[in-house]
Structure 1
């Protein structure tokens, strides 16, 4: 059973003959802001909203603990050049209020539908409640799931989004963060970031390359247009007769290779 309903995963795990397993991979849920559109073209607005979300509560109530908090960049803990020492951004209404005041106040709409990711509407409502403590007004717009990816994603100024992630930093950044990339859903462009991204492809010194990807993650975290509150585990159920080796975390069901790698014990 792929993508087990997280609300009932604990009940499924109690059933005789069934085991529920999970892997931490690259899948992450996001709230991208169009940085070419007011008020999200102001980094004070973006920073205010990044400080205004309680990531721990969203992981607990939307993922039911099946995941970890995100740090406003798309590189997962499982990626080889993940910036583990980059300070974790936490819920801080005072900082959010500070940046909101610099922006002249914040009143915005957040579009969401569960087509974006399971629990996206609930996450948006929680976000609204968190931000209110900082004096930030968020109106949650419940969009139809039908046509969400055609009519809302990369169309509305702020919305909810799902990313399966990518197994390499270059692939992820090139797909959705490089200036002009077709799936750059924040329409963000940063010259320093783009320069580092290109140079890192040719860098053979691994220590230097790590430093470059670390800086890229920091730039996205502090200047980018996406709120990344969480990385979601891949959760699946199998017969207790199914065995396997070490699970890959680059996609669902052992990197979508379960039919090649698993066996009956």
Structure 2
């Protein structure tokens, strides 16, 4: 895994996603949450109690507030960001690169804060009866930047797809997994054939961190490296200047193809300044004194510094930090031992210690913010949310470990400070039932390169919020999942997964997803801990700010400033 100062590929390459999920939460504030997307919990930071002029909590479940009937136009919108970007290419980079990539480039579809699919470069679409062939009708008015007014056509969509499927792209474009072919029917029509039914394909290609942006065919044919420092997107913002260490400036795309509430093209502001302020306290102070207009991913520890006509908001995220019971580590291949660990776990203690504003979910891999989350399965079903020491010891005795159990070293990385607290509490809680082990701190890079998804080791992992609630089960939980870190296999789970992925109705898919969650919760090697809340902040003259439950979706253009 490259270091934070080097390039890595976009897409759903597992290590890219882990890097993204870990590092964003470490320093608290990275970009803008409401108008762009939510973030990880704010760990670390110092100074001030939970406070600020106003704190709003959005726990409605859909992460949205009603858009105003009218919004002001013009002005400069200044965002305080934790870091710069490594590249302007939508196919490469990590962290803020994703955020700004979505400001400059478009996909065929997009999702709103409720995870509902909306048109983007495709104005409409239809599927055949079994959802294996999707036909997209393209807009004719989406022009590329720096291409002399050239508009996007089906040939550009085809070229972008071919590039992501070629050896030239070193990432894993899993938003395109299962695609048998993509063809340009004519200049404004694209047909996609899938290897199996997919009800959610239009949502999947809008996936968080997904690589299926549309770029000009001429650029890809000439030299894809041009994307590294030049904006060729069709997005709402155009790159004006890029000072990698200090700031990035964008101007509004006056001819953007998506309209605001007033019927005029987004964005509402004339200019965006992405000011890079590496210190957490500095960003909070800058928001208070008006040097910047908005931040996101702010730690509650610095919330008290945010004052003077500023508002803080918080919302439950879909981030998760599960403990992976790798079944190649003895005796984690024994179901009774795995269940004993779940009974011995005190998740309420973990939540209180790490993120009292967070929430608990199932041991299932699907988070409470997602569509298809099994609300019928109680959070404390079977194992409870606090420790049941007697039940845990009983199961260990039945498994042949009545006198206790010494296990291999348990690992965690420094990418997210919460992991250290979880590891320490986990060690203490397991000791209460006779399960003892040492814990070992790794650098994030070492964990990713030498420990992640490796036989014979067990650890805490982390997953970012995905647009699709089925992404983690698909990649990390099923037997053939490429991220099956636990090496766990369950025929009933795989059967339910197959039903979910082949479903041709929402009802059928929802029922199969519920069954998958129940099985993994009760039998799986995935131990859920908690889901943190995200914090953001904005000045009172910023309008239409709305936290998003995932943190690399771009809603910059939907904010407005009136100052």
TM superposition score normalised by structure 2? 0.43
> Deviation of residue 211 (structure 1)?
2.1
In 2: Cα distance, 1:197 partner to 1:123 partner: 30
1:26/1:167 contact within 8 Å kept: no
Structure showing the higher helix proportion among its residues: 1
Map of 1:138 onto structure 2: 437
Map of 1:83 onto structure 2: 374
In 2: Cα distance, 1:239 partner to 1:37 partner: 51
Does residue 14 (structure 1) correspond to residue 304 (structure 2)? The answer is yes
Map of 2:521 onto structure 1: 221
Tell which structure's C-alpha radius of gyration is larger.
2
Does residue 62 (structure 1) correspond to residue 354 (structure 2)? The answer is yes
Secondary structure in 2 matching 1:187: coil
1:235-246 equivalence runs, <5 A: 235-246=535-546
Map of 1:152 onto structure 2: 451
2:313/2:547 contact within 8 Å kept: no
Does residue 5 (structure 1) correspond to residue 305 (structure 2)? The answer is no
Secondary structure in 1 matching 2:478: coil
1:12/1:20 contact within 8 Å kept: no
CA RMSD across the alignment = 2.2
Structure 1's 96 and 191: CA in aligned 2 closer, same or farther, altered over 3 A? Answer: same
Does residue 104 (structure 1) correspond to residue 396 (structure 2)? The answer is no
1:73-222 equivalence runs, <5 A: 73-87=364-378, 88=380, 89-90=384-385, 91-105=387-401, 106-108=405-407, 109-115=409-415, 117-155=416-454, 156-222=456-522
TM superposition score normalised by structure 1? 0.88
In 2: Cα distance, 1:102 partner to 1:240 partner: 60
In 2: Cα distance, 1:146 partner to 1:259 partner: 31
1:32/1:225 contact within 8 Å kept: yes
2:300/2:535 contact within 8 Å kept: no
Does residue 49 (structure 1) correspond to residue 341 (structure 2)? The answer is yes
Q: What is the number of equivalent residue pairs in this alignment?
A: 260
Structure 1's 256 and 207: CA in aligned 2 closer, same or farther, altered over 3 A? Answer: closer
Map of 1:262 onto structure 2: 559
